């Protein structure tokens, strides 16, 4: 025979299980007598959040980004928003990493105005660099890479490759401009400033030119909403302003 204490616990677990399935959803479409659901709990938490912070965010939303970027309390909230939603890619210090832009400098792929930053966060961005392996061939790729590196003042390059690459670079000028300074309308980077999103070594640039690059910044409108995006825009703008000072 089983010990009595064990038997009592066994029956108690059965009673608990039956009671739980009566009160909470656990059997197909049966909703439970309490009417509880995870989505309902999330909605209740969201309503509580809006009651507590809605007016605060609404006040910030009506404040211009440039003014908000100088508001210490607002920037503390912005820092928390950044840590929870942006730091995984751009780093806790916002200095980015390979394939993820540094947000503390003045180099912007899509423009560094408050409007451009706001659009990047709200709607996301899709950056596409096509591969040129088939169009240029291996030798042509090497020449374009040499010329591209020369635009940022790199030394020790093969002069003949640089000269040949200058002519081939016209295939790239449609996006990066004839002078290589880029085009924020297309998200085409400036190639003359020695700031490289995917690395500035010969090997990494060769891979970029040969195979192309595809980058995506996910839209945050559905996650954060317009008001918090407005505050986050001010925080990101403040990061580059600090670096400037």
What is the chain's percent helix, strand, coil content, to nearest 5?
Answer: 60, 5, 35
pTM, full prediction: 0.80
- Residue 10: exposure state from Cβ atoms within 10 A (0-12, 13-18, ≥19): exposed
pLDDT, residue 245, reads 47
pLDDT, residue 158, reads 95
Contact 105, 93 (CB under 8 A): no
pLDDT, residue 220, reads 96
Contact 66, 237 (CB under 8 A): yes
pLDDT, residue 179, reads 95
* Per-10-residue mean pLDDT, the chain, length 245: 94 96 91 92 90 88 94 95 96 95 94 96 95 95 97 95 96 95 95 94 96 95 94 95 60
- Report d(CA 164, CA 169) in Å as an integer: 9
pLDDT, residue 231, reads 96
């Amino acid at each position: 025979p089983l010990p009595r204490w064990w038997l009592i616990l066994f029956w108690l677990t059965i009673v608990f299980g039956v009671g739980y399935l009566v009160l909470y959803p656990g059997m197909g479409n049966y909703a439970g007598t309490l009417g509880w659901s995870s989505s309902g709990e999330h909605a209740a938490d969201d309503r509580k959040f809006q009651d507590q912070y809605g007016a605060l965010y609404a006040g910030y939303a009506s404040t211009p980004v440039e003014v908000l970027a100088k508001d210490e309390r607002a920037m503390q909230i912005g820092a928390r928003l950044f840590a929870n939603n942006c730091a995984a890619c751009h780093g806790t210090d916002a200095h980015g990493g390979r394939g993820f832009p540094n947000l503390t400098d003045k180099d912007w792929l899509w423009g560094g105005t408050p409007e451009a930053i706001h659009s990047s966060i709200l709607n996301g961005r899709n950056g596409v660099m096509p591969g040129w392996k088939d169009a240029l061939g291996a030798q042509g790729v090497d020449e374009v890479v040499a010329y591209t590196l020369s635009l940022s003042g790199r030394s020790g390059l093969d002069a003949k490759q640089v000269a040949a690459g200058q002519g081939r670079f016209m295939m790239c000028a449609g996006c990066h401009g004839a002078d290589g300074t880029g085009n924020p309308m297309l998200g085409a980077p400036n190639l003359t400033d020695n700031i490289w999103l995917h690395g500035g070594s010969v090997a990494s640039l060769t891979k970029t030119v040969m195979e192309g690059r595809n980058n995506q910044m996910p839209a945050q409108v559905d996650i954060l909403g317009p008001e918090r995006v407005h505050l986050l825009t001010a925080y990101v703008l403040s990061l580059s302003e600090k670096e400037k000072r």
